Amino acid sequence: MQAHDTRSAAKRTNTLTLGQTKLRSVIRGIGSYLPVNKVSNADLEKMVDTSDDWIVQRTGIRNRHIAAEGETTSMLATHAANAALANAGLTAQDIDLVIVATSSPDYTFPSTATQVQAAIGMHHGAAFDLQAVCSGFVYAITVADKFLISGSHKRALVIGAETFSRLLDWNDRTTCVLFGDGAGAVVLEAQQGTGSVQDRGVLTTHLRSDGRHREKLYVDGGPSSTKTVGHLRMQGKDVFRHAVSMVTDVMVDAFAATNTTAADLDWFVPHQANRRIIDASAEKLGIAPEKIVVTVDQHGNTSAASIPLALATAVADGRIKPGQLVMIEAMGGGFTWGSALIRW
Ligand code: UT7
């Protein structure tokens, strides 16, 4: 009886590997938006005791964009969402899920995602925010992927959008030079795949968090504690120390889950916080420097928006092409961290 069960199981497994189809969340479109107001390191030299040299050497940042007075996170997100829809050749009517990853929402509530939903003229489906700070986009891709591969939803707009300039203490040179505002969005569509790593779409996702690290990177306000918005506070050195090992851990998990290696990657598109973290992570895993997409020089750390901004840049300039293997990863406040391996 036992032998028979084992044979049946083997037969079932074989049938599954040979003939199985699997829903995949395929990236069908991408768009991004940066506020018009560009602020250079030289501009910051006039505001705080800093220098272009220090900022470039320690972070790789040269410029950041700052939202105009009255320009909210949902407005940036809406620009990016409309660009992604146009790129996908779709309209809001084709979408049934909107997730906005943000830690700088327009309001405590309603969610920024419902503001975007209204702004793009979508009156059906579901929209909600996801808060995982700089890891927000990786978390949002993961959540959207679960919705799509379950068959419950067909197409998702996944947006990372931030106005971190509103959370900064502009007298604190250790943080105010690092961050910027922006938004990026992708349209994910459920498509039939074969279950192999040759499929287009999200191949694997790996999320982690550890709430013991709260005081290393946080905002010192909130509705339930201070009844204020608060300012970003960071022990930069401590964050840096953890970042490389955390993001490389979850990339190793992604390689193991898909039986791939760094050599299989076409592009490495990391969270854009600091050039030194990016380079150290790539070096630790043996990812060739020419495969790294870096845009932190142009927009600083835009938290949840940074990965879709970098992806949109590399798609627009022709680097990322359909069929290529792309690794995204991020680490941020909480701490939260995660990776996703995607075949474009
Ligand atoms: O998205 C995830 C969240 N964040 C990150 O990934 C950021 C992680 N951390 C970092 O990127 C780096 O730790 C920083 C870029 C924030 C700082 O670099 P660092 O090499 O760790 O510098 P440090 O904090 O040790 O500061 C070195 C010196 C200090 O002066 P003393 O004490 O050595 O005299 C700072 O006061 O640099 C000084 N300093 C500055 N000098 C000029 C700090 N900020 C500035 C500044 N301009 N803006």
Mean pLDDT within 308-335: 98
pLDDT recorded at residue 338: 98
* pLDDT per residue as tens digits for the range 256-304: 999 999 999 999 999 999 999 999 999 999 999 999 999 999 999 999 9
User: What is the CA(236)–ligand 1 centre distance, in A?
Assistant: 6
Mutate to test the pocket of ligand 1, among 274, 279, 302 (most ligand atoms within 8 A of CB): 274
- Range in 15-19, 130-134, 313-317 the model is least confident about: 15-19
Asked whether 304 lines ligand 1 (CB < 6 A), one says: no
Residues known to be catalytic: 134, 271, 301
The percent of residues above 70 in pLDDT, for the chain, comes to 94
- Does the Cβ of 163 fall within 6 Å of ligand 1? no
Residue nearest to atom 35 of ligand 1 (CA): 174
pTM: 0.94
Q: Do domains 22-193 and 201-343 have the same CATH topology?
A: yes
Tell whether the model's pLDDT for residue 66 goes beyond 90: yes
CA distance 140 to 306: 13
Quote the ligand 1 centre to 54 CA distance (angstroms). 9
Closest listed residue to residue 160, CA positions, set 177, 175, 180, 174: 180
332 CA: nearest ligand 1 atom: 2
Cα–ligand 1 centroid distance for 104 (angstroms): 23
Which class in CATH covers the domain with range 22-193? alpha beta
Which of 104, 167, 217, 237 most suits a substitution to test ligand 1, by most atoms within 8 Å of the C-beta? 237
Which candidate, 286, 244, 245, 287, places its Cα nearest to that of 269?
287
Is residue 151 pLDDT above 90, yes or no? Answer: yes
Which of 240, 241, 281 has most ligand 1 atoms within 8 Å of its beta carbon, as the pocket-test mutant? Answer: 240
Q: What is the pLDDT of residue 158?
A: 99
Per-residue pLDDT, 18: 45
**Residue 3: predicted pLDDT:** 42
Lowest mean pLDDT among 20-24, 60-64, 195-199: 20-24
Pocket of ligand 1 contains residue 306 by CB under 6 Å: no
Say if ligand 1 is within 6 A of residue 284 CB. Answer: no
Residue 252 has pLDDT above 60, yes or no: yes
Q: Give the Cα separation of 197 and 257 in Å (integer).
A: 10
* Domain assignments of the chain as residue spans, ordered by start: 22-193, 201-343
Please name the amino acid found at residue 327.
M
Give the residue, by CA position, lying nearest to ligand 1 atom 47: 50
Q: Up-side HSE of residue 60: CA atoms within 13 Å toward CB?
A: 15
Mean of pLDDT values over 220-236: 98
Average pLDDT over residues 297-313: 98
Q: What confidence tier does 6 reach under pLDDT thresholds 50, 70, 90? A: very low
Q: Is the pLDDT of residue 131 over 80?
A: yes
Mean pLDDT for all residues in the chain: 95
What's the pLDDT at 13?
36
273 ligand 1 Cβ < 6 A: yes
pLDDT at 244 over 80: yes
Is residue 1 predicted with pLDDT exceeding 50? no
Contact 200, 193 (CB under 8 A): yes
Using pLDDT thresholds of 50, 70 and 90, give the confidence band for residue 9: very low
Instruction: Determine which residue's CA is closest to atom 44 belonging to ligand 1.
Output: 174
Task: Tell me: pLDDT of 8 over 50.
Answer: no
Q: Choose the CATH number for 201-343 among 2.60.260.20, 3.40.50.300, 3.40.50.1820, 3.40.47.10.
A: 3.40.47.10
**Given pLDDT bands bounded at 50, 70 and 90, which one contains residue 52?**
very high
Name the packing angle between helices 73-88 and 112-119 (round to 10°): 50
Confidence bin at 20 (pLDDT 50/70/90): confident
CA 204 vs CA 15, 62, 192, 201, 250: distances in Å: 22, 33, 16, 9, 11
CA-proximal residue: ligand 1, atom 25 (nearest): 237
pLDDT above 60 for 306? yes
- pLDDT tens digit sequence for 86-128: 999 999 999 999 999 999 999 999 999 999 999 999 999 999 9
